[in-house]
Structure 1
Amino acid sequence: MTGRSAVITGGGSGLGAAIARSLHSQGAEVILVGRDEAKLAAVTAGLGSRARWLTADVSDAASVDALREALADTEVSILVNNAGIPGPVAALTDIEVGDWDEVFAVNVRGTYLLCKAFLPGMIERGDGDVINVASVSGKRPLAHRTPYCASKMAVIGLTSTLAFEVGPSGVRVNSLSPGPVAGPRMERNFRLEAARSGSSVDDAEQAFVSRAALGRMVTEDEVGAAVVAMLGMPGMCGADVDLSAGMVA
């Protein structure tokens, strides 16, 4: 990947930071995008050369336009749409409209806006890769997570259709669907589920990971490695890659 430039949204922590580390280790220039300057700066400092950061709100069209303008002199050939929020843990009938809309604004609208911003350059050059981070939760029932699950299924649908739109131009579009990833986000979900159900946090976690063949969550570094592997498969387009430790859809 030497000589390639990658924009990674949600790059200030978690999966975004892990994906940035993996791409950077393979020689790519990485541009971390997010809303928290301190977190973005910390990740960038840890990477050293060939890394920089820019702030943007992926759900806001004007903010994404400003990001595109800031990178007008950069040949972005890899776009990883990783920015996302988990949303509420509650029955659908208890979810507020504003909370529902916020999940779709970040998880789906954000993916659309970033693709709209950076695909034209890839199409003009006849080459490029877009990887949209979805989730196995978009492909199987997960009670009390309707906005998140629906948004991730929307990302998968966006991916498969977009692949057929831009594939003839030489641009590859794929999605990566991690299962539960060990880290702060899942810890938050387990706490919320425990509070909702009256169980312990440990019981909520065990109930979740017991659905996976390997009986565990995947790691952030495994997700980063999967992105690198996908980019190494030039014949892959319109695919959704399951990385879930065997959590069957």
Structure 2
Amino acid sequence: MSGLTAPLAGRNALVTGGGSGLGRAVTGALLADGAHVVITGRNEAALKETAAHLGPQVSYRVCDVSRPDDVEELARGLAGEEISILVNNAGIAGPVAPLTEITPQEWDEVFDVNVRGVFLMCRAFLPAMTARGAGDVINIASVSGKRPLLRRTSYCASKMAVIGLTTTLAGEVGPLGVTVNSLSPGPVSGPRMERNFRLEAERTGSTYAQAEQDFVGRSALGRMVTEAEVGEAVTAMLRMRGLCGADIDLSAGMVAR
């Protein structure tokens, strides 16, 4: 940003699930705005490759956000970093099946990562933010659950839980100087949606192209959003200083409220 101070210069951000996909895109957007970023995840090889690709302003720590011991160790290891931005992005898609065919173990796995992980990370990193009287938390939710998404009940329920967590937590820590918001992307082009289209084509006996078109045809723009657009939305939200307790849809018009 020639001649200008980068909006996030001097700030340290922590992005969960940062080794690939949305986490990698969010990390790139934070870097472009001047932040130093720590990425976490379970796949050390992916984290290492992402950090090497994005440059010296990115470091990584292996952490399973669903495990309290891992999160506590991460918080101790970053105690001197003054993390002022937390992006809870880690999540899993879970099963694609009718609710009656989902096992309790599959259900719990989705909630362990998608909801428990957000809880544990906020529990670990909010105290330092509230003590300083400043900080920003962005939880990556989803438009899933805001409109029917058949055979995805565990995922939809988990993402709606993240929205409920966000709005209530914002009321708890907003008076202490910390903002908490959620970003709800619509379908994001990439490997996860490609997997879903393949499964839907197999289930219905249609082609991949037909399954994709049936899905994206529901959006006002007739397309999915991109990973880069999600990253840009995160940094835009960080620049909106009056934003707190909000859930922002980014869905190419898939959901309109």
TM-score (norm 2): 0.96
Q: C-alpha separation between the residues in 1 aligned to 2:215 and 2:70?
A: 36
Q: C-alpha separation between the residues in 1 aligned to 2:126 and 2:215?
A: 37
Q: Deviations over 1:117-152 (max 9, x none)?
A: 100000000000000000000311111000000000
Query: Which amino acid counterpart does residue 236 of structure 1 have in structure 2?
Result: L
Query: Which amino acid counterpart does residue 127 of structure 1 have in structure 2?
Result: A
1:189 maps to which of 185, 196, 201: 196
SS at match of 1:105: helix
SS at match of 2:144: helix
Name the residue aligned to 2:94.
Answer: 87
Query: Which amino acid counterpart does residue 200 of structure 1 have in structure 2?
Result: T
Name the residue aligned to 1:174.
Answer: 181
State the superposition RMSD in angstroms: 0.8
Q: Deviations over 1:41-72 (max 9, x none)?
A: 11111121221000000000001011111101
SS at match of 1:52: strand
Q: Percent identity?
A: 66
Name the residue aligned to 2:227.
Answer: 220
Alignment of 1:38-187 (within 5 A): 38-187=45-194
Q: Note if contact 1:82-1:132 (Cα within 8 Å) is conserved in structure 2.
A: yes
Q: Deviations over 1:14-51 (max 9, x none)?
A: 00000000001111000000011111011111121221
Name the residue aligned to 2:4.
Answer: none
CA drift of 1:174 comes to: 0.2
Q: Deviations over 1:192-227 (max 9, x none)?
A: 122222222111111111110000000000000000
Q: Does 1:36 align with 2:43?
A: yes
Q: Does 1:9 align with 2:12?
A: no
SS at match of 1:136: coil
Q: C-alpha separation between the residues in 1 aligned to 2:211 and 2:76?
A: 45
Q: C-alpha separation between the residues in 2 aligned to 1:93 and 1:203?
A: 27
SS at match of 2:129: helix
Name the residue aligned to 1:235.
Answer: 242
| Bigger mean CA deviation after superposition, 135-144 or 156-165 | 135-144
Unaligned runs of 5+ in 1: none
Query: Which amino acid counterpart does residue 230 of structure 1 have in structure 2?
Result: M
Q: C-alpha separation between the residues in 2 aligned to 1:15 and 1:90?
A: 24
Query: Which amino acid counterpart does residue 197 of structure 1 have in structure 2?
Result: T
Unaligned runs of 5+ in 2: 1-7
Query: Which amino acid counterpart does residue 142 of structure 2 have in structure 1?
Result: S
Q: C-alpha separation between the residues in 2 aligned to 1:63 and 1:167?
A: 27
Query: Which amino acid counterpart does residue 77 of structure 2 have in structure 1?
Result: A
How many equivalent residue pairs? 249
